[in-house]
Amino acid sequence: MILRACHKTAARVAAILSICVLSGTAHADFRMCNNTAARVSVAMAYTNGSAWVSEGWWNIKPAACETLLRGPLAAEFYYVYAIDEHGGEWKGKAFMCTRDREFRIDGREDCFVRGFDRSGFFEVDTGKDAKNWTVQLTDSGQNR
Q: What is the pLDDT of residue 140?
A: 59
Q: What is the pLDDT of residue 4?
A: 31
* Contact call for residues 124 and 81 (beta carbons, < 8 A): no
Handedness of CA 104, 67, 32, 28 (dihedral sign): negative
Q: What is the pLDDT of residue 2?
A: 36
Q: What is the DSSP string of 113-133?
A: TTT-EEEEEEEEE--SS-S-E
Q: What is the pLDDT of residue 76?
A: 87
**Domain residue extents for the chain:** 4-138
Q: What is the DSSP string of 37-69?
A: SS-EEEEEEEE-SSSEEEEEEEEE-TTEEEEEE
Ranges of residues in the chain whose predicted pLDDT is under 70: 1-27, 140-144
* Contact call for residues 139 and 36 (beta carbons, < 8 A): yes
